[in-house]
Each structure stands twice: as C-alpha cells, then as structure tokens.
Amino acid sequence: MHSFGYRANALLTFSVMVLALMCAMASLSDNLNSPSPSANVQVLKVNRFQKSTQGNDEVSMTLNISANLQSLFTWNTKQVFVFLAAEYETPKNSLNQVSLWDGIIPSIEHAKFSIHTTNKYRFTDQGSNLRGKEYDLTLHWHVMPKTGKMFADKLVMTGFRLPEEYR
C-alpha cells in the first residue's frame, strides 16, 4: 500500500520533471534558430488621396505584399501574426504608425505569399501632413510558440512617397 502510493508519486514527480525539461529544451532550441525572413512591398496604385471633412488626410492604395516568412517556423511555432504599417514622421510625432493590413499565418505552407490588396484598414493622418510625405512600409511579425516566450521583429522598407496633390 504505502510503497505503491510512494512509487506513483515518484513516477508523477519524475514525469513532470521530464516534461518541464522538454519544454525548456524546446524553447532553448527555438532560440538557436536565427530566422531570415524577406519581404517586398510595392504600392501599385494610389486610388484615392483626399482630406476628409474632419481635415485629416486619407489614402487608399493598392499594395502588392510579398514575403517569405518560412524561416520563422520551427516545430515549436504555433502561428505567426503579421501586420504591415505605414510609418512616418510629422512635426507633432516622431513616429506615426498606421496599420494597413494584417494576417495570421497558421503554418509554414502559408508563410510564403504574395497578396494583391487595397489597404484593409484606413490610412488616415491625424492632420493634413501627407502631401509629398516620405514614409516607410514596415512588416512586423509576432511569433507565437507552442511553449516559451513570444517574440517579435520587423523588416523596414524605405523610400515610399505620397503624391504632392490630392486626387
């Protein structure tokens, strides 16, 4: 009796320790993976560029978002959240960040993609600073692991500029 309970307990303790060790090794080996994602975004067309009745500049554009995020996936990756943001400077804010598009990548098979889309979220300024404005398009990603810490990184694409005139 006593010995059975003792052994069951020891077995349970041992199993939990093994499990904890495996989780630790999993997130450790995951940290050794140094991913090298690539991305390329083209603004195919500025469809609309106007000042709204509230006085804020608003842009509608057609984008070609291509990326290869396959190296972010290890056996410990649950999914990857990505978003594309327009980032620019104004006299008021050193960083304005407007999310234009986002998506969830469920598996490595979906991690290489090319999407032809208009901005899913409004590209609106807090004011009318966008005429002739230079901006970056930054692809941000958050890797959600099965076990261990989430990590985030980004790729900045520079050299974009909005038209000088509303259209």
* Chain CA centroid to CA 74, Å: 17
Q: What is the DSSP letter of 93?
A: -
Chain contacts with ligand NAG (rule: CB under 6 A) = 40, 42, 44, 64, 66, 114, 116
CB atoms under 10 Å from CB of 58, counted, come to 17
Taking the complex as a whole, the smallest distance from the CB of residue 68 to ligand NAG amounts, in Å, to 10
Nearest to 140 by CA among 76, 110, 109, 97: 97
Residue pair 65/44 in contact (Cβ under 8 Å)? The answer is no
Give the residue with the Cβ less far from ligand NAG, 24 or 115: 115
Taking the complex as a whole, the smallest distance from the CB of residue 119 to ligand NAG amounts, in Å, to 16
Residues written for the chain:
167
Q: Give the chain's radius of gyration (CA, Å).
A: 23
Taking the complex as a whole, the smallest distance from the CB of residue 141 to ligand NAG amounts, in Å, to 18
Taking the complex as a whole, the smallest distance from the CB of residue 106 to ligand NAG amounts, in Å, to 22
Give the residue with the Cβ less far from ligand NAG, 21 or 44: 44
Give the residue with the Cβ less far from ligand NAG, 36 or 54: 36
Give the residue with the Cβ less far from ligand NAG, 26 or 157: 157
